[in-house]
Amino acid sequence: MTHHMIGKVLQRRYQIVQSLGAGVFGQTYIAVDIDYPENPKCVVKQLKVSNCQPSYLDDLRLRFLTETETLKRLECHDQIPQLIACFEEHERFYLVQEFIEGHSLTEELPINKKCGEIWSEAQVVEFLEDVLGILDFVHSQGVIHCDIKPENLIRRAADGKLVLIDFGSIQPVDFGEDTELPIQNVPVTSLGYIPPEQFIGQTQPNSDIYSLGIIAIQALTGMAPLQFKLDPYTNEIIWHTPQTQVNDYLAAILSQMIRYDYEDRFQSAGEVLQIIQEMRWENELPQLEALYSLSLPPEEPSDSNIVATPVPPQKSAPLLTGMRVGLAANSVLLGLGVYSLFTTSPAYSDKETLYKATEEYQSGDLEEAIALVKSIPTQSKIYPEAQATVEEWQQQWQVAAEQYQFAETAFQAGRWSDVLAIAPKVPDILYWQSKTDKLVQQAQVNIEAQTQDLLAKAYASANNRDFSTAITYLRQIPQESAAGAIVQKKLAEYDKKQQIRATYFLQKAYNKASAGQFDDAVKFLQKVPKNTTVYAQAQMKLNEYAQKQRLRGPSSKVAVSKVNSASRKTQADTRYYSASKIDNLY
């Protein structure tokens, strides 16, 4: 959970002010740098730690330092946030990066309610070239992003350029080469963008190309990744139908980017860029009928029909030629070895069913999620995994429901601190976390309101020199309050003043007793608070003066009775202060 991080200060410098959500490899927050007067924003990423075994942490620490050195090499690119700091604190590992003012690509995609227009081919090509340029640089530095999705592409407000954020290049830190990425741990916003090989620990540079291709197709079709059908025999995504308005060259490029088997995809971002540039040279986006003539043998030119033809700046790549042959043959991308562009299939693959079930589970429909998983046939390769997932879902759901109920009960009872303490125990289920977040936010508001009320009462009591009551009010302020520093400062101040005032009362009692005014002496001793260093001495003197009052006669019986009931404490030494000096303070 993320609530407990809000307000925390890391390295005595970076104060967490907002959660940005979880990625595949860690939790991300917005922080302010309190070292600077203007408190500039920055982004803090807390990396996931699987366990706290010393050997694991040592290995993690070494890998973390190695990977952060790689990240430092990336900051020279204008469309990658600068790495500000990296550090370890309380066996947790953190990256601090530049905060980019702007909006995420999610707001521009057609599935977003604020933007209903399908992207044009020109927009998609421009988008691909922009991001591929970033990926080409990133991959050249030996880094794989691992979580390309709309939320991680920010349209920078300053110049309108796309900036790639939230690097997952620490992938080797948390997931070794042989470690699988459990689907239930993948954030909902990443589902559909992550390629198949990443779930089995075989992430490749062209895994990022797959994710980028999915975003481009989403922009062209207006469909979310999990809405795409899969070919039940090849597992390839079926997205290009006769209704999709897209040039076949561009469709071929996108289909090549999202091949199920990473070995069949483009192998580098530079390769995709080259193909797009050649497509541009071919009169930007050529029509399909113009390709048919390319599959026919050329006519022998005669002297009468020889004409000068423009020469391209460079020879066409074999891959682009393969696209032409495949398209010219039968409108099927045989040159790329891809499924038919115009074939549709109503069947869902088992893996897609599990994806869909996970989405339902995270959104709060456990019954539908289980029903979808149960529809996976027993002969399926992922059947054992699916069944294990259902068992875990049921257990986690029960825990989440119970913890939320505890939090809600605490909220209704006005136990705001208990709400904040229970919240981190709610499992990572988006539905329950969202409900719990609402309680936490309101509890935090109530805590601050309660804090202001208690502070006001404490100040009023202190103004009346009733420091004991003021301290009592301060100690009722919850530790989660944002006024923690003020509370500690005032507690120390009032405690010191209370000790001085208690010593003052004791000295006044001595003065009255020496003058034989035992009734007045008792009154001063009764004002000495219990939680002061001279309280024991005051109680001893109460007992002593009671005996003397008893000897003076019946007129003191009432006072003696009060003293006897209040004084049963052990003796202790005390210092004698100048009453006249303390009188000057009060």
Binding residues for ATP: 45
With vertex at residue 9, the alpha carbon angle to CA 5 and CA 12, rounded to the nearest 5 degrees, is 160
As given in the structure block, the two tokens for residue 241 are 């139908």
3-class secondary structure per residue, 339-365 = CCCCCCCCCCCHHHHHHHHHHHHHHCC
State the binding site: 45
Which residue stretches of 91-144 are H helix?
A: 121-140
147 catalytic residue (yes or no)? yes
Tell me phi and psi for residue 41, to 5 degrees: -80, 150
Residue 186: other Cβ atoms inside 10 A: 22
Give long-range contacts, CB 8 A cutoff, 24+ apart: 412-421: 414/446, 416/443, 416/444, 416/446, 416/447, 416/450, 416/478, 416/480, 417/447, 417/478, 417/479, 417/480, 419/443, 420/3, 420/4, 420/444, 420/447, 420/480
DSSP one-letter code for 93? E
| Polymer length in residues for the chain | 586
With vertex at residue 521, the alpha carbon angle to CA 519 and CA 523, rounded to the nearest 5 degrees, is 75
Radius of gyration of the CA atoms of the chain, in A: 36
Give the three-class secondary structure for 228: coil
* CA-CA-CA-CA torsion sign (311, 313, 315, 319): negative
Q: Which of 262, 215, 208 has its CA nearest to residue 235? A: 262
Answer yes or no: are the C-beta atoms of 209 and 148 closer than 8 Å: no
Tell me phi and psi for residue 211, to 5 degrees: -60, -40
Options 58, 59, 136, 147, the catalytic residue: 147
**Residues designated catalytic:** 147
